[in-house]
Structure 1
């Protein structure tokens, strides 16, 4: 199974959400979605975030809102320090009346004063999470509800329920394809095999996949393999040839082109970077 830093939602019992501060470099998390709302706030460095086919370049002090079921990907540039807040769908639905009929976006009316307030909430969350004083969870929950109140007051956008139902249904279908890829990426995967998972002909499947995922099926498979190669380069002593073979990378020339395009270096240079001295 592919290991992502923040694709799987692991909430904490004490605060009922996921709240992490992590540092990372050169990590690619390919297109995926989840039911939680996600906030990414950059403390240091730079991150590329693509949400529903729109690319954002986040630098120090920037944050982005990723709504439930938004298809998104992230790429951390070198030495990036990130605050990550993920709020489960169940918490959102319980806390916000009519949540299923809304999404949150940074609109003109939310820009500077409200954005500054959101940043201050996230920074105080980090501070109290680090110190964990007596009554920590009480204060954290008050900040969390302040955050959600600000979202509802300043960033709420009504959505078309029929469109949401159709999109959710199609994403559930695509989830079967993604699970198939994650289970079989080490072997050759054909369009015919992937399209058969959801009973579509290959031509329609290609259009269907690109529409909802924002990338082609081949690009998705290659990104899954790239992420696995990166993990093996950084965490194992296997030969590069062995790593490529175990992750289904049979076209060496294409792989090298994709790797350099994504990470800006060769696999050998990437491996050497983990032990610079």
Structure 2
């Protein structure tokens, strides 16, 4: 993430240490803010922007009419006009990352919000049904003031966190690992090892031994905790590093493939396209127009 940040604009938001959050709404004909990140959480509601393109971390997607995304601290993101030809409404809510501290979020009643915040390190997208249910509340939040507006924000975040079918956008490995926790020392150790040695050959047995488990036990363990198999988790890490190199370097796709532990170019291309929806070459081109050097 540190390498990526050299090529991305850091936004200094208008929040002061004495504010709880800020909300601003605008109607515009195009997206013109560069790829950027900031220390605050951001909830972005976008209406009537069908055909626009959203980039969060290493995830790229063309959006529909209704868009609601939660972005965690220091996660690179941008919306691009792309094929959108309509007048766009955008409402952005930003709040300090310490507005809800860790001890507060460990309370039982806040567990869903905490889980959503953990997911936001990768960007969280909400389904259309959820957006329709909360759209008016977001649009009118700016009309409230003081303590009531803070309570409204907490209520909104709770309802979003208990929504069904919310999903993460970017690969974990593309992001600062400090932003995401698996709540397991064994799993953290396993992922740290894979993130450090992704360019080498790594077997299930190597990682299982590292955390003092049998191959079978670790295989079940990682699947239960992450929803991913060992090999899928390793491939995600390798693809995350490959994504970063496609943005940060001028190495050829072949060089990047081998440097990230893929010994078969066709397998690398196939996995990359399956995960990202585009080829490595197309991925690099998508980022080339929005990079800002600071």
1:116 matched to which residue of 2? 136
What is the rounded CA distance, in whole Å, between the counterparts of 1:113 and 1:240 in structure 2? 43
Partner of 2:209: 196
Return 5+ residue gaps in structure 1 as ranges. Answer: 6-10, 25-35, 50-56, 68-74, 126-138, 158-167
User: How many angstroms apart in 1 are the aligned matches of 2:70 and 2:4?
Assistant: 19
Q: CA deviation at 1:210?
A: 1.2
Deviation at 1:191, TM superposition (A): 0.6
**Which residue in 2 is equivalent to 1:63?**
68
Counterpart of 1:160 in structure 2 is: none
- CA deviation string 1:159-193 (max 9, x = no partner): xxxxxxxxx98634312211111111111111111
1:147 partnered with 2:153: yes
Deviation sequence 1:210-260 (CA, Å, 0-9, x none): 112112111121122212222222222122222222222212221111112
User: Does the C-alpha gap of structure 1 residues 261 and 149 become closer, same or farther in structure 2, counting only changes over 3 Å?
Assistant: closer
Q: Say if 2:242 and 2:256, in contact at 8 Å, map to a contact too.
A: yes
In structure 2, stretches of 5+ residues that fail to align are 6-12, 24-30, 57-61, 83-89, 117-125, 163-180, 290-294
Within 2, Cα distance between the matches of 1:273 and 1:156? 31
Match of 1:211 in 2: 224
Aligned length: 224
Question: Normalising to structure 2: TM-score of the pair?
Answer: 0.53
Query: For residues 79 and 234 of structure 1, do their structure 2 counterparts lie closer, same or farther at Cα, with a shift above 3 Å needed?
Result: farther
Q: How does 1:1-277 map to 2 (within 5 A)?
A: 14=17, 39=43, 41-42=45-46, 44=49, 45=52, 59-63=64-68, 88=97, 91-92=100-101, 98-99=107-108, 102-104=111-113, 114-121=134-141, 124=142, 143-151=149-157, 171-274=184-287
Q: What TM-score, normalized by structure 1, do the two folds share?
A: 0.55
Could you tell me how far apart the structure 2 residues matched to 1:102 and 1:47 are?
28
Report how far residue 203 of structure 1 moved.
1.3
Q: Which has the higher contact order (CA 8 A, sep 6+)?
A: 2
